Structure 1
Amino acid sequence: MTDALVEDDPGRIHPDDMAAILTALDAIDVSAKPVRTVAPDDPDDWTLCLHWLQHGPVSSDTEAALPGVLARIRDHYAVNGRTPPTRMDLHGPDGGELLTVEGGQSHPA
């Protein structure tokens, strides 16, 4: 069962980047798949957007692991000479923001 959808922005996410994103999420037992980008991003400060498909809050274990996921993704981008996302936003099934991950911390919306 898929837990989350990852917005795939072809201007920022190459196929190997998406593979790294999905692998980082899988490492914390979050099954994810790509979905077409919903909204254009700020050209200078881009956000990796995930859509949580489960109803209810994100588990505390998953929330605690997300800063490490973002760090792995940022490392992948740095190694490949591309601009990494500055943060990761997690949206609920209704489109509302559940939490933001940045600077090694997650912040509930």
Structure 2
Amino acid sequence: MAEARIEEDPGRIDPDDMAAIIGALDSIAVTAETEPSPTTDTAQDWTLTLHWLQNGPVSSDTEAALPQILTRIREHYTLKGATPPARLELHDSDHHILATVTPPGAP
């Protein structure tokens, strides 16, 4: 069973990007699947949104690893010449924000 769902944004995430996102999460032992996004983020400064499916809080190890995961995902986008996500948001099942992650060193 997946621990997280990644919102698909067809304008921002192609199949290669999704594979990179899933691979980055898999590297910290978080299994993920995709779900359609209710909206399309057209801003230059876009957000990668994940939904935490597990009951209870996100483990401290997972939360601590999220900045490095965002960096890895941003590097993927930069290498292909695409605009990377400015931040990663982790939501619970009620759509409340559990965590907002920005790249290390970002204001």
**Could you say which TM-score interval applies, normalised by the shorter chain?**
over 0.9
What is the number of equivalent residue pairs in this alignment? 105
Amino acid of the structure 2 residue aligned with 1:89: E
Amino acid of the structure 2 residue aligned with 1:98: L
Paired position in structure 1 for 2:7: 7
Deviations 1:33-74 (A, max 9, x none): 111112232522100000000111100000000111000000
What is the Cα-based RMSD across aligned positions, in Å? 1.2
CA distance in 1, matches of 2:72, 2:20: 8
Structure 1 residues without counterparts, runs of 5 or longer: none
The normalised TM-score by structure 1 is 0.92
Q: Which moved more, 1:34-43 or 1:72-81?
A: 34-43
CA distance in 2, matches of 1:21, 1:73: 6
State the secondary structure of the residue aligned to 1:33. Answer: strand
Deviations 1:55-108 (A, max 9, x none): 111000000001110000000000000000000000001111100000328xxx
Question: Is 1:60 paired with 2:53?
Answer: no
Q: Percent identity?
A: 57
Deviations 1:5-26 (A, max 9, x none): 0001000101100000000000
The normalised TM-score by structure 2 is 0.93
Structure 2 residues without counterparts, runs of 5 or longer: none
